[in-house]
């Protein structure tokens, strides 16, 4: 399956509590942080969505901003995955956290190519998944809704109800030897590292 057959969904609903401001709009080189991710995805997919509770912030970007459909007492990424899948007009969607600006296009393309006949195709290292850089089928919508109704917000909890294909992170390293595809910006220190990467430097 090629990326042009899928929707790309960027989750931009985080509180950025450790950063103290909306981290996705922080300047990173010649564009905002989320702009790097958009640039890596926009020409590869049939459609590009951003799930956010502040759609007005993303009007200047070449994306369609949509909001959560299910509102929970606790903010969580699972509602964003649900909204992305519901708004997507393709059976499969590539879901990625908005604070992962260095996702390698070859990693994305490989994950999408492996997704046929599975409901979730997700990187895994040991017992740990990377569920915010993965491919999901709309078959996941109902199990997610059932899980949210139980106020269980742990993404991987519904995996036991669907067909999951883990992809070893080590296998993805041949496309991205640096491993920066899974680098996310959560703290001011992470942001300084991201600036260093963009400026050609190294991580701390």
Q: Residues of the chain whose pLDDT is less than 70?
A: 14-20, 201-204
Q: What is the CA radius of gyration of the chain?
A: 16
Cβ neighbours of 74 (radius 10 Å) = 8
Domain 3-198 matching CATH 3.90.550.10: the answer reads: yes
pTM equals: 0.94
Q: What CA dihedral angle connects 149, 154, 156 and 161, to 10 degrees?
A: -20
pLDDT tens by residue, 168-191? 999 999 999 989 999 999 999 999
What pLDDT was estimated at residue 202? 54
Report the C-alpha gap between 109 and 136 in whole angstroms: 14
What pLDDT was estimated at residue 45? 96
Structure tokens of 65? Answer: 């901003």
What pLDDT was estimated at residue 13? 78
Return the domain boundaries, the chain.
Answer: 3-198
Residue 3's alpha-carbon distances to 92, 106, 135, 164, in angstroms, are: 10, 11, 10, 19
Nearest to 86 by CA among 38, 47, 142: 142
């Amino acid at each position: 399956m090629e990326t042009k057959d899928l929707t790309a969904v960027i989750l931009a609903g985080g509180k950025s509590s450790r950063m103290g401001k909306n981290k996705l709009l922080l300047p990173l080189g010649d564009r905002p942080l989320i702009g790097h991710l958009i640039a890596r995805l926009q020409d590869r997919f049939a459609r590009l969505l951003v799930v956010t509770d502040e759609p007005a912030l993303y009007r200047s970007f070449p994306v369609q901003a949509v909001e959560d459909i299910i509102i929970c007492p606790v903010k969580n990424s699972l509602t964003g995955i649900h909204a992305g899948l519901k708004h997507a007009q393709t059976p499969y969607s590539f879901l990625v956290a908005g604070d992962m600006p260095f996702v390698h296009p070859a990693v994305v393309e490989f994950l999408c190519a492996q997704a046929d006949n599975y409901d979730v195709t997700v990187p895994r290292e040991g017992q740990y998944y990377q569920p915010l850089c993965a491919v999901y089928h709309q078959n996941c919508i109902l199990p997610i809704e059932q899980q949210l109704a139980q106020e269980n917000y742990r993404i991987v909890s519904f995996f036991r109800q669907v067909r999951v294909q883990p992809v070893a992170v080590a296998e993805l390293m041949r496309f991205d030897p640096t491993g920066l595809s899974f680098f996310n910006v959560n703290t001011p220190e992470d942001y300084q590292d991201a600036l260093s990467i963009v400026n050609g430097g190294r991580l701390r």
